[in-house]
A and B are shown apart, each in its own frame.
Chain A
Amino acid sequence: MYEKHIMICGATGCLSSGSNQIAEALTEELESRGIRDKYRLVMGGCPGFCEVGPIIVIFPDEVFYCRLKTKDMAELVEQHLIGGEIVERLLYKGPDVDAPARFYDSIPFYSKQRFNVLRNSGVIDPESIDEYIMRGGYRALKRALEMDSQAICDEVKDAGLRGRGGAGFPTGMKWGFTNKAPGPKKYIVCNADEGDPGAFMDRSILEGDPHAILEGMLIAGKACGADEGYIYCRAEYPLAIKRLRTAIEQAKEYGFLGNNILGYDFNFKMNIKEGAGAFVCGEETALLASIEGKRGMPRPRPPFPAQVGVFGKPTTINNVETFANVPLIVREGGAEEFKKVGTEGSKGTKVFALAGKVRNTGLVEVPMGITIEEIIFDVGGGIQGGREFKAVQAGGPSGGCIPQDLINLPIDYDSLTQAGAIMGSGGLVVMDDRTCMVDLAKYFLSFTQKESCGKCTPCREGTKRMLEILERITEGEGKPEDLDTLDSLAHSIKDSALCGLGQTCPNPVLTTIRYFRNEYEEHINEDYCQSGICKPLFQYLIDQDNCTGCRACVRACPVEAIEGEKKEPHEIIQDLCTRCGSCIEKCRQDCILITRVGSEADVGN
Chain B
Amino acid sequence: MEKFIDPCCEKCTHTKDTPCKDFVECCVEGPICHENQECADKRKAIIEKVALDEKFVIS
Contacts and interface: CB of A to CB of B under 8 A. Distances in A.
Given A125-B50, A131-B50, A260 B5 contact: no
B56 A262 contact: no
B58 A135 contact: yes
Interface residues of A, number: 32
B52 A60 contact: yes
B37 interface: no
Contact of A134 (B5, B21, B58): B58
A133 B50 contact: no
Interface of B: 3-5, 14-17, 19-21, 23-25, 27-28, 46-53, 56-59
A138 interface: yes
A157 interface: no
Interface string A110-126: 00000000000001010
Given A133-B4, A134-B47, A262-B21, A60 B16 contact: no
21 contacts: A1-B48, A1-B49, A40-B49, A60-B53, A129-B4, A130-B50, A133-B4, A134-B28, A135-B57, A136-B59, A138-B24, A142-B21, A142-B24, A252-B16, A254-B16, A255-B15, A260-B19, A261-B19, A262-B19, A262-B24, A263-B20
A59 B50 CA distance: 10
Given A133-B28, A138-B24, A142-B24, A254 B52 contact: no
Interface string A127-158: 01111011110110110000000000000000
Give the secondary structure class of A's interface.
Answer: mixed
A129 B29 CA distance: 16
B31 to A, nearest CB: 15
Given A123-B52, A125-B50, A254-B5, A133 B19 contact: no
Given A40-B50, A136-B59, A255-B14, 20 more contacts: A60-B52, A60-B53, A133-B4, A134-B50, A134-B56, A134-B57, A135-B57, A138-B24, A139-B25, A142-B21, A142-B25, A254-B5, A254-B16, A255-B19, A258-B16, A262-B19, A262-B21, A262-B24, A263-B20, A264-B21
A255 B50 contact: no
B11 to A, nearest CB: 16
Contacts of A254: 4-5, 16, 23
Contacts of A253: 5, 16
A263 B27 contact: no
A263 B26 CA distance: 14
Given A134-B28, A134-B57, A254-B5, A263 B19 contact: yes
A230 B6 CA distance: 29
B51 A134 contact: yes
A133 B27 contact: yes
B51 A130 contact: no
A312 B53 CA distance: 49
Contacts of B27: 130, 133-134
Nearest to B15: A255
A222 to B, nearest CB: 14
Nearest to B27: A133
Interface hub of A59, A133, A252, A258 (most chain B Cβ within 10 A): A133
